[in-house]
A and B are shown apart, each in its own frame.
Chain A
Amino acid sequence: AQSVTQPDIHITVSEGASLELRCNYSYGATPYLFWYVQSPGQGLQLLLKYFSGDTLVQGIKGFEAEFKRSQSSFNLRKPSVHWSDAAEYFCAVGGNTGTASKLTFGTGTRLQVTL
């Protein structure tokens, strides 16, 4: 069965500092990997996705993520965090199934940004 683990429930960083959010997955074939962001009381917005090809993917809002097959990881990074980045971040894994109904979401990491 596929699964996603986000080991950090809550992370606090200072504005301007770098950020890395961890995501480990389990999937029996080539995974499709996603990072979504959720502001309080809102829906989720896709930050970036990995399907194939270059293992370093760029997303919106200055985020990037690197797929490491050997480590079953897809960590999200940002060089310099802004106060507006405070939100909850979800990693998700799926495959080439033709439907988003097969996506599995992690439990999320809540990011707090201090000024």
Chain B
Amino acid sequence: DGGITQSPKYLFRKEGQNVTLSCEQNLNHDAMYWYRQDPGQGLRLIYYSQIVNDFQKGDIAEGYSVSREKKESFPLTVTSAQKNPTAFYLCASSSLDPATNEKLFFGSGTQLSVL
């Protein structure tokens, strides 16, 4: 089945530690996105990528980093510079077809908590 796989489902970070969240898609989508979701808030865009080896900052990129070495993969690193990392992180993808490029497909998310 085509879809987006995020792992792990739950992740704990120690003080000063970098952690990496995995996102893999087999939908053959060119564009991939990372969102942060906090209770009572909408989704906020962290980073996005429309092509391999290229990515752009979203609204809240500080304290995060990404890479896009393969079309299928878009890992997110939460660095120690992110002082409030506890949140639910969602990865999404979309095609670049003008007829469907604003339809997002989401993974099932990673809940990151601080120890």
Contact = CB atoms under 8 A, between A and B. Distances in A.
Nearest to A49: B103
Contacts of B41: 107
Interface residues of A, number: 25
Contacts of A99: 31, 48, 50, 94, 96, 101-102
B108 A43 contact: yes
Of the four ranges (under 10, 10 to 19, 20 to 34, 35 or more), the interface on chain B belongs to: 20 to 34
A101 B108 contact: no
A108 to B, nearest CB: 7
A107 B42 CA distance: 4
Interface in B29-49: 31, 33, 40-43, 45, 48
Contacts of B96: 98-99
Interface string A39-81: 0011111100100000000000000000000000000000000
Interface of A: 4, 9, 32, 34, 36, 41-46, 49, 90, 94, 97-101, 103-108
